[in-house]
Amino acid sequence: MDKKQLEKWLEAGVIDQNQAEKMLQDLEQQKKEKSSSRVIWVFSIIGSVLLGLGVILFMASNWSRIPDFGKIGMLVLGTFGTFFVGYYLKEQKKNYPKVGFSLIFLSAFLFGATIFLIAQIYHTQADEHSLVLLWLLGVLPLVYVFGSRIFAFLSSMLFYTWMILFFIQKSSMFKGEIVFYIIFTLSILLFVFGNLHFFKKSLEKVGLVYKIFGFFVTSAFLYLVTFPDLASEFIRIGYFTKSLYFPITFMFVLIFLALTLSSALNPNRSENNRFENISLLLGSALVFGFSLFDPEVVKESIFSFSYIVFYNIVFFGMSILLVYKGYKKEKMVYVNFGIFYLCLFLISKYFDLFYQMLDRSVFFIIGGIILIAGGFYAEKKRRKMKEDFLKNKKDVVNSFNLNKYE
């Protein structure tokens, strides 16, 4: 509901002048409250970050003069003290919830700093990935205690940071090509894990963060392997050994069972959920199925070229499908993802195909024209779809909201 909508209702005789004035007052009050809440939130976060930096800089400047027990005491007391003050303000007093939450968020970062600094004090031989895993385990409870998207975002970042560090530091244990499939599988499982949160209303926002992260990383890897050089680094086409067939098959079976279960349970009771699960399942079947071709049967050069073409088709088709499904189901998140991936794909393919073929000046002139024209067209279509979706939603919502002003 906005001011223009109220004016239309007033002109059409849907509401009278008194109702319009009351609704306009409510609208203005809601805007003021939202604006004030955002300002408080921003300043609280900035203040927490500055406070944390100040503490870290103070300790760094006096680090050599402080005895070990003093360092540990300051780190532990600072971390848990910040948490309990924040918890008291947010949950006990409940008079400064934004400030309290920002302090709790700060304590999550101090917890990570404490882990790394204690490891440094005692010169432990623990790998960095182990320390990140401890940090992640400390942050995860906060996700569910507060049902917070920010902590879900932080835990997702830590999860992928841990995974990357683990594979880097344990590179001797894993063949390069299998890492791609492991990360791909774990990203889809993170998506399914996010889906399960929709069984509980209070955790839906947390689940959405996990779903977006899982989908984004899966799509990012699909995008990277549309380039021949990167694909050869990730997959090393034509060099699969038969020893890898079992783990790859096992990972696909795991994905199949997880997505089938998620689709059958349908925790958010939505047709969109089934679309997401079935799309990921089909995409996984294509990706994993293609990897099981025997390079001894197919000539390596043909196999390599087919692999790259296949991934380009999959990524392009996924982008178009997201836009189409978003338009049909009036889901802007699908439309935004689809347009973003489609534009990214077309721009990168333009650079990939024509950079060496065209004169540099012609290349950039044509590229600039395409980008500007394509940007205008894509944004125009996106806004038009968004307006159509909002209009349809408003017609439904406003039919209920009008009753309280009668």
- Mean pLDDT, residues 78-85 taken together: 87
Q: Answer for the pair 283, 255: CB distance below 8 angstroms, yes or no.
A: no
Q: What are phi and psi of 175, to 5 degrees?
A: -75, 145
75 has a pLDDT exceeding 70: yes
Condensed to tens digits (0 to 9), the pLDDT of residues 224-250 reads 777 776 666 555 544 555 566 677 778
Separation CA 256–CA 249 (nearest Å): 10
Per mean pLDDT, which range of 13-27, 29-43, 117-131, 282-296 is the poorest?
29-43
Residue ranges of domains in the chain: 40-125, 174-327
Per mean pLDDT, which range of 113-127, 240-254, 291-305, 372-386 is the poorest?
291-305
157 has a pLDDT exceeding 90: yes
283 has a pLDDT exceeding 80: no
179 has a pLDDT exceeding 80: no
- pLDDT for res 156: 93
Q: Answer for the pair 237, 303: CB distance below 8 angstroms, yes or no.
A: yes
Separation CA 228–CA 319 (nearest Å): 20
252 has a pLDDT exceeding 90: no
Residue scoring higher pLDDT (165 or 60): 165
The amino acid occupying position 292 is L
Highest mean pLDDT among 58-72, 75-89, 387-401: 75-89
Q: Grade residue 356 by pLDDT with cuts at 50, 70 and 90.
A: low
Q: Provide the sign of the torsion angle of the four alpha carbons 148, 149, 154, 159, taken in this order.
A: positive
Q: Grade residue 398 by pLDDT with cuts at 50, 70 and 90.
A: very low
- pLDDT for res 29: 61
Residue scoring higher pLDDT (33 or 18): 18
DSSP 92: I
- Mean pLDDT, residues 304-318 taken together: 76
- The DSSP-derived string for 356-400 is TTS-HHHHHHHHHHHHHHHHHHHHHHHHHHHHHHHHHHHHHHHHH
Percent of the chain with pLDDT strictly greater than 90: 6
Separation CA 168–CA 278 (nearest Å): 32
- pLDDT for res 119: 83
136 has a pLDDT exceeding 90: yes
Task: Provide the token pair at 252.
Answer: 């696909």
CA 164, 205, 222 angle in degrees (round to 5)?
Answer: 40
The 10 Å CB-count burial string (b at 16+, else e) for 291-306 is beeeeeeeeeeebbee
Name the 3-class secondary structure at 1: coil
- pLDDT for res 137: 94
Q: Answer for the pair 77, 49: CB distance below 8 angstroms, yes or no.
A: no
CB burial of residue 187 (10 Å; 0-12, 13-18, 19+): buried
Separation CA 384–CA 242 (nearest Å): 52
- pLDDT for res 91: 81
53 has a pLDDT exceeding 50: yes
- Mean pLDDT, residues 27-48 taken together: 62
3-state helix, strand, coil in the chain (%, to 5): 85, 0, 15
Condensed to tens digits (0 to 9), the pLDDT of residues 384-394 reads 666 665 555 44
Task: Provide the token pair at 380.
Answer: 């125009």
Separation CA 100–CA 162 (nearest Å): 28
Helices (H), 88-175: 97-121, 128-146, 149-169
- Mean pLDDT, residues 63-67 taken together: 73
Q: What is the phi-psi region of residue 123: left when phi exceeds 0, alpha when psi lies from -120 to 50, beta otherwise?
A: left
Per mean pLDDT, which range of 93-97, 194-198, 212-216 is the poorest?
93-97
Q: Answer for the pair 291, 205: CB distance below 8 angstroms, yes or no.
A: no
